[in-house]
Structure 1
Amino acid sequence: MMSCGYRDRSCEIGMIIGTGTNACYMEKMKNVEYMDGEDGLMCINTEWGGFGDDGSLKDILTEFDKVVDNTSENRGEHIFEKMISGMYLGEIVRLVLIKLTEEKLLFKGEASAALLTPGKFETRFISEIEEPDSGLENAKQILTELNLKWDLVDARVVRLVCDTISSRSARLCAAALATIANCIRLNRELDYLKTAVGVDGTVYKRHPTFRNKLQKEVPNLAPKCDIKFLESDESSGEGAAMAMAVLQRLAQ
């Protein structure tokens, strides 16, 4: 948010979708609990990766999400992050492929040792398999590397699984972002909000269709908000430098 806000002062939201996920936004001080004063704005770190830790997402968790959580080092925590971020997307796809194989819908019902090994289906495979032009060939190569006995139908089904999981991630992320935008608009009592979001993260930047799916879905969920997407480069370094520059100026 800080790095993109330097280029575009309308940027009031920051979002990262990479190995992990999080977002922040600017809120009116009068709406911030436990803080004195009502003038000005404060940056709110949503820690939205932890959304659902209270059980609020239980109705949409799949059996695969539950396995990912139960086998993680932080069981019961960062539920939303485990549904949408790069650290977990590959594992979700792997679990779906195993289920389809067990039901004899893939690979003639024969799973390889590699497919049965947690973490072997990397999230980067999803991006490679979903490439518009080379995705099918990439899928064939990856399935071969995983020692799976595949045919053309198998490769196409694997592409469908990858698209399903990445699409769900993009839409869940869009829902969270739209909620923030709607919150800003309502808290400022605006009929229409025009703002920008600075975005960083490997899933957003490197997946061939993720950003388009995300940007397409947000207007449906926040119809009274016009959100411009700004891609941030070296955001951690630039953002920290901007924050220190502001502090230095205020100190002087």
Structure 2
Amino acid sequence: FICLSFSLSTCSAHSYCILYAANTIHTVGVSGEHTAAGGGGNASYKRINPVSEGSCTVVWAVDHYDVFLCPHTEKGDFLALDLGGTNFRVLLVKVSDNGRQKVEMENQIYAIPEHLMRGSGTQLFDHIAECLANFMEKLGIKDRKLPLGFTFSFPCRQTKLDESLLVSWTKGFKCSSVEGHDVVALLRKAIRKRGDFDIDIVAVINDTVGTMMTCGYDDHNCEVGLIVGTGTNACYMEEMRHLETVEGDEGRMCVNMEWGAFGDNGELEDLRTEFEREIDCGSLNPGKQLFEKMISGMYMGELVQLILVKMAKEGYVFQGRVMSALAHPRTLQDLLRVLRELGLDPSPEDCAATQRVCQVVSTCAAHLCAATLASVLRQIRDNKATDRLRTTVGVDGSVYKNHPQFAQRMHRMVHRLVPDCDVRFLYSEDGSGMGAAMVTAVAYRLDMQHADSLTFFC
């Protein structure tokens, strides 16, 4: 029975899979010696290196220029854009300080049609500018030049707080003439072309950084940001002495890991199944973001679909019938509805097999996510030279939020892998967008203070 054999082989491989992934990332990607980008494993160095365009380290470590500050004296109105999937959000965050800081937020979600996800970069950013104008018009703030933070959740080389060059598209996007270009400049160009409003783009960040910033506002022990949604990624606070391209050894800096690209140099070949290989071959970016294709929401449903199709073809479920509705890519939610719409009168065994496949796929994803997170927690613990780490992980993403068992399975496995770490998981509602506004608020205050000091000096 193929379902049973797949389930048992997957479950029995969990311990090996978890230890392999955790140890590989821990010893090669985050701590210890690191494989040089594009070096094929021959060159090595002691510190984390930033990504080179067109290549990556085992775990992509991109240096961020975000100062991790929890704002306490910030006040004012700040805009934020949050782009990281098929929808994007525009937010207005109001920070008031009447003895006790208060944060209020208004936001609206806008869709990105599929033809824009795969069209030209100009069309995409024109659409974003149009939606931003629509949002500001509705709130009656179109005549104000407000500071804005831009959450852009794709692999980038960040050179300044307000400058970020896209390395590669992921999560179904493939817009032309954007890779290698500064996304902030492209947004500014689209806004200038309209000419009906103006804004001050202060900062661009990744959604993981935004999530960590938001959670850090409520819990100052938050040192890790984690996203498990359409895609997956994480960031954490690293000691400056471990960052090769940053001057100085004192203090810490936020590192955007881009761990969705783990495995792109072949580290996960022993773990990837035929189903994950098939998904990769049919994707817009074959050979890229391999870890993301093993655990994120964009691909979990298709993994289940491919397993069920193979089982049906071999006569183990649905009386051996493969209906067209099942043969085409579906989301996990769609698959459950398909079972009722196929007209196959599925047997209790069919239903149990489908449930088991879904359980195995989601459990494996949760455990792989836990393994990579455990290695990051070890790194933080070792940095602090403490026997027991107490820290908080800020989490956001549709899979973590909406899957009924994913969070619990991931939590359990993290505690099992790092029993010497007391980890609190803090869910961040709208964390990535709110975090962009918070970074913008801090940066804007520092800019104003700097300008005032220059005026006083003159």
TM-score (normalised: structure 1): 0.91
Contact 1:112 1:148 in 2 (8 A): no
Paired position in structure 1 for 2:127? none
Residue 81 (structure 1) aligned to one of 280, 292, 308:
292
Secondary structure in structure 2 of the residue aligned to 1:195: strand
Secondary structure in structure 1 of the residue aligned to 2:391: strand
Paired position in structure 1 for 2:422? 226
Paired position in structure 2 for 1:124? 333
1:1-252 equivalences in 2 (<5 Å): 1-117=212-328, 119=329, 121-125=330-334, 139=336, 141-251=337-447, 252=449
The one-letter amino acid paired with 1:61 is: R
The one-letter amino acid paired with 2:291 is: F
Counterpart Cα distance in 2 of 1:211 and 1:98 = 28
Report the structure, 1 or 2, having the larger strand content.
Answer: 2
Deviations 1:85-126 (A, max 9, x none): 000000000000011112211011111111111x2x313357
Segments of 5+ residues of structure 1 without an aligned counterpart are 127-138
Query: Offset at 1:52?
Result: 0.4
Contact 1:87 1:123 in 2 (8 A): no
Counterpart Cα distance in 1 of 2:372 and 2:348 = 37
Distance of aligned partners of 1:227 and 1:214 in 2 relative to their CA distance in 1, 3 Å threshold: same
Secondary structure in structure 1 of the residue aligned to 2:435: helix
Identity %: 48
Secondary structure in structure 2 of the residue aligned to 1:124: helix
Counterpart Cα distance in 2 of 1:199 and 1:28 = 22
The one-letter amino acid paired with 1:144 is: R
Contact 1:14 1:23 in 2 (8 A): yes
Query: Offset at 1:161?
Result: 0.5
Deviations 1:136-191 (A, max 9, x none): xxx4x540224544212101110010000000000000001111001111122221
Secondary structure in structure 1 of the residue aligned to 2:395: strand
**51-60 or 221-230, which moves further after superposition?**
221-230
The RMSD of aligned alpha carbons is 1.3
Counterpart Cα distance in 2 of 1:106 and 1:10 = 49
Counterpart Cα distance in 1 of 2:225 and 2:236 = 6
Contact 1:64 1:92 in 2 (8 A): yes
The one-letter amino acid paired with 1:162 is: C
Contact 1:68 1:91 in 2 (8 A): yes
Contact 1:170 1:213 in 2 (8 A): yes
TM-score (normalised: structure 2): 0.51
The one-letter amino acid paired with 1:45 is: N
Counterpart Cα distance in 1 of 2:349 and 2:405 = 22
Segments of 5+ residues of structure 2 without an aligned counterpart are 1-211, 450-458
Contact 1:111 1:148 in 2 (8 A): no
Contact 1:15 1:200 in 2 (8 A): yes
Larger radius of gyration: 2
Report the structure, 1 or 2, having the larger helix content.
Answer: 1
The one-letter amino acid paired with 1:122 is: T
The one-letter amino acid paired with 1:244 is: T
Secondary structure in structure 2 of the residue aligned to 1:26: strand
Counterpart Cα distance in 2 of 1:114 and 1:78 = 27
Distance of aligned partners of 1:203 and 1:173 in 2 relative to their CA distance in 1, 3 Å threshold: same
Secondary structure in structure 2 of the residue aligned to 1:223: coil
Paired position in structure 2 for 1:133? none
